A = this chain, B = another copy of it.
């Protein structure tokens, strides 16, 4: 029973009473995320529900008229996971943005999906609590998007990823039913881990309308160590020794030489342009314990062969040292078009991965700056190429795929934290075996037989 576009819009505006945007000028901003190289279709409309009931009615209407749904948070994704398909309804959860509860006794929060990560952090901080997951986009990305992509961040080395903080979810399924998954307790094994299945499913199994998230007591402002290394292997050794010693820093970030120089070209921070790598390591233990942890980190960096190690005496100095990490992507981005990759390998393979990336850069005649989460073996090789140059874009995309396949060869994964979306849908096939592909297809089509949710994405 497929109606005309006008009928669908009339029903959404009338019976469903939800805000519908079909002005083509505004609609453009709803048609894609931040993955610039990935094509996006033209949506029929963007729909902005304010309640779970409205989401149900939208899903039911879309299903009845056979219009696909592309769920969307802030559109800050990096893999085209929120890109529109032609004729779809983009369901933006931006207006479901209330923090419903912060429970300081039992350390959890209940939020709507459109809550900005930073707003949840502020609400938690007001109660002396912390929501650890801190994707680089935390100031504008939404919790719904963070959950749908299982977002990572800088804190993962100590605190884990978004999945580790999702206790329960409310989701709207393809039939328009509401399922309340999970729990409010720290532990629980009642049935399948459906919460975990929906985390990271990138909008292909349902629409998240509420999340119950674990919080932890607030941490102290961190102290930073900055260590330059004359070669990548020495930096790898430092990370390995810090890990093996059971030292638990809250941040372990790496910047390679290309990234260091891009930052230096721009900001003149006095970074060592000759260094092969800069490690930025933080302790959030506070007081004497932080100073002791900093000393332990400094000593490991030195014995691993660092050429220069600085450490902050107070949190203000600490922020200055960490600034280099914040500048990494924008510094590369201003040198041309920047295509951000995201791969993870077993920690010990980081030096091998970086050496291989250097060769890939040479082979495709592109510049690649790599930075990221060395403590978990998850880095972001960023391919820089001239803007508006189709031949260079093709080279960049070829280098991109080579990096992903190299990570797989080194025992790693095609994506550590950015997700599959459209960008890596075909590359995902290289990571999964036949039976795993069958499991993906089977679960997806069992839950959404008509292919309503985010078609063409992930699998």
Given A105-B348, A187-B156, is A193 in contact with B163 using a C-beta cutoff of 8 Å? yes
In the complex, A72 has a CB within 8 A of chain B: no
CB-contacts of A133-154 with B (<8 A): 149-150, 152
Contacts A185-B345, A189-B415, A190-B413 aside, 12 further interface pairs with beta carbons under 8 A come to: A105-B240, A107-B347, A161-B187, A173-B435, A178-B433, A185-B344, A188-B415, A189-B418, A191-B428, A191-B436, A191-B458, A193-B200
Take A161-B187, A219-B246 as given contacts and tell me if A192 and B440 are in contact as well, using a CB distance cutoff of 8 Å: yes
Q: Give the residues from 213 to 265 in chain A that come closer than 8 angstroms, CB to CB, to chain B.
A: 216-219, 240, 243-246
| Known A-B contacts A179-B439, A246-B219, A413-B183; A200 and B189 likewise in contact (beta carbons under 8 Å) | yes
Chain B residues with Cβ below 8 Å from A181 are: 436, 439
Candidates B420, B424, B436, B446; contact of A446 at CB < 8 Å: B446
Rounded to whole angstroms, the CA-CA distance of A161 and B193 in the bound complex is 13
Contact digits for A342-358, partner B, Cβ 8 Å, 1 yes 0 no = 00111111000000000
> Is there contact, CB below 8 Å, between A436 and B244?
no
Shortest A197–chain B CB gap in Å is: 5
CA–CA, A177 and B418, complex, Å:
30
B-contact bits for A299-330, CB 8 A (1 contact / 0 none): 00000000000000000000000000000000
Cβ–Cβ contact A442 & B431, under 8 A? no
* In the complex, chain B residues whose CB is within 8 Å of the CB of A219: 246
**B411 lies within 8 A of A184 (CB):** yes
A435 touches B179 (CB 8 A): yes
- Kindly state whether residue A376 has any CB partner on chain B within 8 Å: yes
Residue from B164, B194, B373, B440 in contact with A439 in the complex, judged by beta carbons closer than 8 Å? B194
A389-419, CB < 8 A from B: 411-419
Instruction: Judge whether A201 is part of the interface by a CB distance below 8 angstroms.
Output: yes
- Taking a contact as CB atoms under 8 Å apart, the answer to whether B188 and A192 are in contact is no
| A348 and B106 alpha carbons, distance in the complex (Å) | 6
A362 within 8 A of B: no
Number of interface residues of A (CB under 8 A): 87
In the complex, chain B residues whose CB is within 8 Å of the CB of A25: none
Q: Contact check, A413 vs B185: say whether CB atoms are below 8 A apart.
A: yes
How far, in whole Å, are A164 and B189 apart by their CA atoms in the complex?
A: 13
Task: Tell yes or no: A128 within 8 A of B by CB.
Answer: yes
Contact indicator B246/A216 (Cβ below 8 Å): yes
Cβ of A126 < 8 Å from any Cβ of B?
A: no
Cross-chain contact B217 with A419 (CB below 8 angstroms): no
The answer to whether A420 touches B194 (Cβ under 8 A) is no
A-B contact pairs, 8 of them (CB 8 A): A105-B240, A152-B189, A173-B435, A180-B435, A187-B376, A188-B413, A192-B205, A445-B446
Asked if A434 is an interface residue, CB under 8 A from chain B, the answer is: yes
Write the A99-130 contact mask toward B (1 if CB under 8 angstroms, else 0).
00001111110000000000000000000100
User: Closest CB-CB distance, A12 to chain B, in whole Å?
Assistant: 23
Q: Is A289 an interface residue (CB 8 A)?
A: yes
Which residue of the partner chain B has the closest CB to A185? B344
Complex CA–CA separation, A80 to B209 (angstroms): 36
Report the 10 A-B pairs with minimum CB-CB distance, sorted nearest first.
A179-B435, A217-B246, A446-B446, A106-B346, A196-B196, A188-B413, A177-B435, A186-B376, A105-B348, A185-B344
Question: Out of B106, B160, B436, B458, which one reaches A179, CB within 8 Å?
Answer: B436
Q: How far is the CB of A343 from chain B (nearest CB, A)?
A: 9
> Contact: A105 with B199, CB < 8 Å?
no
The answer on a CB contact under 8 Å between A193 and B196 is yes
Q: In the assembled complex, how far is the CB of residue A178 from the closest CB belonging to chain B, in whole angstroms?
A: 6
A2 at the interface (CB under 8 A from B): no
A459 within 8 A of B: yes
Question: Are A417 and B189 in contact (CB-based, < 8 A)?
Answer: yes
Q: Which residues of B contact A177 (CB under 8 A)?
A: 434-435, 438
Residue A26 at the chain B interface, CB threshold 8 Å:
no
By the criterion CB–CB under 8 Å, are B105 and A180 in contact?
A: no
- Asked if residues B189 and A416 are in contact (CB atoms below 8 Å), the reply is yes
Residue of B179, B378, B418 touching A186 (CB-CB under 8 A): B378
Q: Does A269 contact B (CB under 8 A)?
A: no
